Structure 1
């Protein structure tokens, strides 16, 4: 039915035969190469939405990359309908471009943007971009990295599946049993998303350092299972609630500090605010 749902494993995480993020070197040269840019910063073109992909883009922005967020005119990032503060946290300082993917002009602009990018981030099922005629090999520039995030993988039946942070995490072993009710509960909020975003940012930086053109296959379920580990016992024994705060459950436990939320570095750009400027820069630089 292609709905975001996962079966909870009987105990711990199902062990995967491959690591969470699989790197594949792209041979050959691209068909379309963008010209040199006036902005010296490495360019990230972020086609992703919600949390994992934008978190990766956010971390790359903190590392000095220029981030251009590209959204469909008729399907904006769903996170825009959520907490404005959280959206600002991930997207402040990024440029916003909106394209109509149903038009030849929109697809031409998208291809030129991708050909100019040092890093491409996308988080759709493989068939979505293929349906637009977009594949990494003819577009990714020398030294570029293409990060593809999926819920469960890119081949076979897994390529058809969708998932969000909570259901993917539960199905990968990141859940616990509440001793008071004996019911399974999430280990934390949508943990597959931040795990994947952070691991992906590291993988992108490592691939960029190594040179060459790389495709990074990041499956959220594999990343989570790798983090949880083979021998995780899904029972909530790490902490207990007493005296109005959480305490570690170890012998002689100590109170656990409350988490401190980071403040956004500014406001995120309005939807499509930089479209004209970025596309003008793109067309002005030319391409071959």
Structure 2
């Protein structure tokens, strides 16, 4: 709650209660985690939602996101949520605006451009250029084509944030399952982190040409999510590197990946075939790995907006928390993966960040504001009385994360992949 609202205003709480959903999901994860003699997993709590902000010193910043790279823009029929977190994104703004000059104020120019288009048209144009744009749905609006696809695939009227297809019998039932983590940034690494806390052996695999972008961010946050994990770096542009990747995947009990489907195809990786051979495969994508939006890009703030997880304040739609779809999805993916590890068959677990965020979204106009208590504190009225609004906090990692590629030779030799 401390991370939602305007910088000069009170903290705001959305109707859907994301924090309550996280608390419940972590309780389920704790029940699913294997009980090992003499070892009780030290699992975190709802503070997970604000740990990145705590490390980076971020605060609520609406109408901008906490990190300043996202905001909603008024379209002719609604709102567009747009994230521009990378330097290359800003360089694409002239192409998005369909003129060659760099605007003096990119966001002011984007406001004017978006106002003349429907939200869907603006989002489609942004996605065509590789930018993370999304139309913000109206509360209880009809399902869009991607959400309808996921409902049709599952044949469940209300839909779900996870699609799971059973595969072949699991080949190994290790007490410490081997997790090959191909993900980056936040959602996937958080899933791997939780699985590691529950006793899994985690091997983080990165491309020698494109390391995890989070390595250039705050070291304390990277260390927190990757402490105790082996670090392997492979050159995916070579036949040897791709072969080593395939053999690592064959050695795994669980594979975590967060790539758009066409990226896996380019590497010659077939997730479905791996699942049929007995490997649990958890795929985390912005909108799901199948359907008309399968290859759309998305980050935590814009995907949450695409789910309707925003707050209305006057004419503005404000972001909820700090890139909230990322930690929400990482937690839900960990629960689904840990549940699969309790069974004797592999599963292809398809986790949509947008659908996870939608599952905890409520009416954007149903907002609870904190009230001032004293000179510096805020409290919120609940059925249990006045509760202080907690500032973001972060756990301390027990050790630094392994350096890029530090364990490549050892892991490949131990698993017979070298």
1:7 matched residue in structure 2: 135
Give the CA deviation at 1:40: 5.7
Is 2:188 aligned against 1:53? yes
For structure 2, the 5+ residue unaligned runs are 1-127, 152-158
Greater CA drift, 241-250 or 205-214: 241-250
* Higher RCO, 1 vs 2 (CA within 8 Å, ≥6 residues apart): 1
- Partners of 1:267 and 1:169 in 2: CA distance: 31
1:168 matched residue in structure 2: 303
- Which structure 2 residues correspond to residues 1-288 of structure 1 after superposition, within 5 A? 1=128, 2-11=130-139, 16=147, 17=151, 18-27=159-168, 41-140=176-275, 143-178=278-313, 182-228=315-361, 231-243=362-374, 244-250=376-382, 253-283=386-416
Q: How much is the aligned-residue C-alpha RMSD, in angstroms? A: 2.5
2:48 matched residue in structure 1: none
TM-score by length of 1: 0.87
- Partners of 1:114 and 1:14 in 2: CA distance: 40
* Partners of 1:99 and 1:110 within 8 A in 2: yes
For residues 128-168 of structure 1, give each alpha carbon's deviation from its aligned partner in whole angstroms, at most 9, with x where no partner exists.
01111101243348653100111012223211200000100
Give the CA deviation at 1:210: 2.1
- Partners of 2:259 and 2:131 in 1: CA distance: 14
For structure 1, the 5+ residue unaligned runs are none
For residues 164-192 of structure 1, give each alpha carbon's deviation from its aligned partner in whole angstroms, at most 9, with x where no partner exists.
001001111211123xx642211100010
Give the CA deviation at 1:246: 1.8
More helix by proportion, 1 or 2? 2
